[in-house]
């Protein structure tokens, strides 16, 4: 058959790091960035060459990324994959140190130090006849492959996307192409419905009495609101949780969440869970665990960036972020 060995996107000029005896080309050590799109001041898209991952990825799965060997492991949802080109797409919002660093450092022609996955259980594309796919902010990216999969499975797909304002919108046309109906909500009313995605959901539920399922991805507060909106209607609602993660392979429990009052590990039991059974208060409070450190890392990074812009000879080294800022995951 074809792949005799995983092609992790090896390049011939992988940097040899003397202090890391295992980074001498043995590891699949280099993941080239083949394209980048900036949607706004803080949000950007990276397309990364990784044929095996592109072949294996399914909607709902995520990867763990390290920008460099000093980096932390950051979970990011696989927003799209192209099995023909052999690439996967990540959409990132620069919120903390690591994502800011990605924004600064990840350019086309460059590469990422480590990327591993696809992690998590793929989203179940049920045989629902009518689904609402809800994406809040960056959640629009990971909900897209799911909407596409539902469409391919023959479902009637209603897309509901929410942004703070019209200038943060992205993938509108792409998303429309896999939806039978498409609703935009903005906090400031600069496009579509003036309000939250929950209003879009309410309208869709009223218009269609036969919605079988709602799938929502976005910030945890938004996913909770979606789950509360559908609860009285008893419509099955799936959410993709984004707790803090370290390894992503189920060996540390850093990502544990409470679902139906049982401990689950989002990285191996999820990240998709029944929104009506998730303890969102617990998730939100756990996401705040490292706030002081995140702030400290971000400040140091900003300082070093300022210093660097004044004095390009100074090296920079610092910082942190966690999953909370990476929207979808």
Partner 1 sequence: MARKTIRTIPQERAVMSVQDPEVRSKNFDEVSHGFDLENAMLECERCLMCPEPACIAGCPVSIDIPGFIAKMLEKDHRGAYDLLTDSTQLPAVCGRVCPQEDQCEGVCAVGVGTDLEPVAIGRLERFLGDMAIEKGWQKTSHIVANRFRVAIVGSGPAGMACAADLAKAGCSVTIYEALHAPGGVLRYGIPEFRLPNTVVDAEIANLKALGVEFQCNILVGRLFTIEQMLDDMGFDAVFIGVGAGTPHFMDIPGENLNGVLSANELLTRCNLMHAGEFPKYDTPLGLGRRVAVIGSGNTAMDAMRVSLRLGAEEVHCVYRRSEVECPARREELHHAQEEGVTFHWLTNPVELLGDADNNVRSIRCIQMELGEPDASGRRRPVPVAGSEFDFDADTVVYAIGTSPNPILGQTSHIGLNKWGYIDTDDSLATSLAGVYAGGDIVTGAATVIQAMGAGRKAADSIRRYLGIRSSGVVYKPEQSGFDGSLFGIDLAEQNFNRIRLT
> Is 14:30 a contact under the CB 8 Å cutoff?
yes
Which CB, 208 or 258, lies closer to partner 1?
258
Q: Is 236 helix (H, G, I), strand (E, B) or coil?
A: strand
Mutual angle of helices 97-105 and 291-310, in 10-degree steps: 30
Cα(179)–Cα(143) distance, rounded to whole angstroms? 12
CA angle 281, 283, 287 (to 5 degrees): 120
Beta bridge partners of 184: 161
Which CB, 173 or 261, lies closer to partner 1?
261
Cα(327)–Cα(136) distance, rounded to whole angstroms? 8
Region of 185 (left: φ > 0; alpha: ψ -120 to 50; beta: rest) is beta
Which CB, 1 or 84, lies closer to partner 1?
1
Q: Is 45 helix (H, G, I), strand (E, B) or coil?
A: strand
- The CB-of-192 to partner 1 minimum distance in angstroms stands at 36
Torsion of CA 307, 308, 312, 315, to 10 degrees: 100
Binding site for partner 1 (CB under 8 A): 1-6, 8, 20-22, 26-29, 52-53, 56, 61, 66, 70-73, 97-98, 113-119, 121, 246-247, 249-254, 256-258, 263, 265, 268-269, 279, 282, 285-286, 288-290, 293-294, 296-297, 300, 317-322
- The CB-of-324 to partner 1 minimum distance in angstroms stands at 12
Which CB, 2 or 313, lies closer to partner 1?
2
- The CB-of-96 to partner 1 minimum distance in angstroms stands at 9
- The CB-of-146 to partner 1 minimum distance in angstroms stands at 18
Which CB, 118 or 162, lies closer to partner 1?
118
Q: Is 82 helix (H, G, I), strand (E, B) or coil?
A: strand
Which CB, 63 or 132, lies closer to partner 1?
63
Query: Is the backbone peptide bond immediately before 56 cis, with ω within 30 degrees of 0?
Result: no
- The CB-of-97 to partner 1 minimum distance in angstroms stands at 6
- The CB-of-108 to partner 1 minimum distance in angstroms stands at 21
- The CB-of-39 to partner 1 minimum distance in angstroms stands at 24
Cα(326)–Cα(324) distance, rounded to whole angstroms? 6
Which CB, 49 or 97, lies closer to partner 1?
97
């Amino acid at each position: 058959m074809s792949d005799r060995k995983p092609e992790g996107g090896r390049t011939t000029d992988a940097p040899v790091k003397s202090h890391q005896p295992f980074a001498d080309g043995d590891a699949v050590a280099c993941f080239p960035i083949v394209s980048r799109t900036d949607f706004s001041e803080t949000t950007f898209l990276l397309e990364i060459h990784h044929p095996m991952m592109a072949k294996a990825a399914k909607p709902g799965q995520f990867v763990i990324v390290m920008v460099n060997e000093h980096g932390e492991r950051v979970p990011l949802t696989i927003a799209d994959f192209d099995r023909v080109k052999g690439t996967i797409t990540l959409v990132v919002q620069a919120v903390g140190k690591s994502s800011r660093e990605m924004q600064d450092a990840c350019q086309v022609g460059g590469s990422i130090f480590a990327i591993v996955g696809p992690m998590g259980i793929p989203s179940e594309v049920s045989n629902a006849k009518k689904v609402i796919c809800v994406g809040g902010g960056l959640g629009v990216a990971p909900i897209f492959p799911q909407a596409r999969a539902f469409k391919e499975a023959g479902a009637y797909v209603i897309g509901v996307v929410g942004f703070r304002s019209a200038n943060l919108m992205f993938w509108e046309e792409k998303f429309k192409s896999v939806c039978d109906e498409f609703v935009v909500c903005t906090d400031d009313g600069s496009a579509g419905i003036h309000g939250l995605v929950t209003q879009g959901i309410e309208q869709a539920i009223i218009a269609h009495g036969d919605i079988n399922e709602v799938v929502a991805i976005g910030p945890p507060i938004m996913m909770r609101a979606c789950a509360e909106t559908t609860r009285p209607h008893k419509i099955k609602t799936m959410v993709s949780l984004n707790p803090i993660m370290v390894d992503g392979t189920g060996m540390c429990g850093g990502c544990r969440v409470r679902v139906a009052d049982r401990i689950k590990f989002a990285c191996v039991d999820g990240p998709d869970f029944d929104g009506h059974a998730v303890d969102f208060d617990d998730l939100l409070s756990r996401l705040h665990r490292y706030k002081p450190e995140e702030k400290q890392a971000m400040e140091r990074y900003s300082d070093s960036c300022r210093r660097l812009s004044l004095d390009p000879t100074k090296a920079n080294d610092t910082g942190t972020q966690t999953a909370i800022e990476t929207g979808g995951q």
